[in-house]
Amino acid sequence: MTRSEHPSPPTKDRRGLRRGFGLGDAAREFARHPSPWMIATVLVAALVARILVGDSRLDDVVLPLALLAVFPVFEWVVHVTVLHWRPRRVGPITLDSELAREHRAHHVDPRDIPLIFIPTRSLAVVIAALLAITLLAFPRPGLGLTFLLTVTVFGLVYEWTHYLIHSDYKPKSALYRAVWMNHRHHHYKNEHFWFTVTSSGTADRLFGTHPDPATTPTSPTARNLHAA
């Protein structure tokens, strides 16, 4: 292959956006961060364990479908109640999680790549909780592993989608463009709406947070959550 046949590296325009930033470039940048590896490690371990345990039944099909149906609602609830948590004082203690602090910083600078990903310490706690649920909340090990496998797939899809939206990759399909635009409205138009990340017009329509962008006022606090 000659030099001219090699794909050209992305170049930056005057706004600092990388032209020609493709999915390969995105995947390489995505793989440089810890949370995808943490989730993928659990996913692979869950897949191997699920194969070894066997004992597949009908509820191993029903459970992933049920989780898929409720995932947009779960995503919406976490975004609203955890990520947009407003710090509260209880006596001398301020209640404010790492996830909420990091998410506020993410709104300040949506293009800061490390802030796009789930913080490592918080993700470790989430993984520990998922392992406990896997071991304790299901009537048989196989079903628990099906749960863990499904949730880690969703988690990896979430991290990839969220990263891709904030990267310099431009939408090529109508479906991804809708998801891309939905989340960018949340960051650049009004932080009180458009809370889903991996889908568009699902849970937001259910909870009344999917207005017409053309008639929605631009929020002065979209980049500075909870500012007066």
Is 147:17 a contact under the CB 8 Å cutoff?
no
Q: What is the pLDDT of residue 16?
A: 52
Q: What is the pLDDT of residue 21?
A: 82
Q: What is the pLDDT of residue 17?
A: 60
DSSP-assigned states of every residue in 68-92: HHHHHHHHHHHIIIIITPPPEEETT
Q: What is the pLDDT of residue 1?
A: 44
Phi and psi, residue 95, nearest 5°: -90, 110
Q: What is the pLDDT of residue 204?
A: 98
Is 80:72 a contact under the CB 8 Å cutoff?
no
Residue spans of the chain under pLDDT 50: 1-6, 13-14
Alpha-carbon distance 42 to 173, whole Å?
30
pTM attached to this predicted model:
0.90
**Domains in the chain: boundaries:** 23-215
Is 144:138 a contact under the CB 8 Å cutoff?
yes
The rounded radius of gyration (Å) of the Cα atoms in the chain is: 20
Alpha-carbon distance 147 to 180, whole Å?
28
- Burial code (b: 16+ CB inside 10 Å, e: under 16) for 141-175 equals ebbbbbbbbbbbbbbbebbbbbbbbbbbbeeeeee
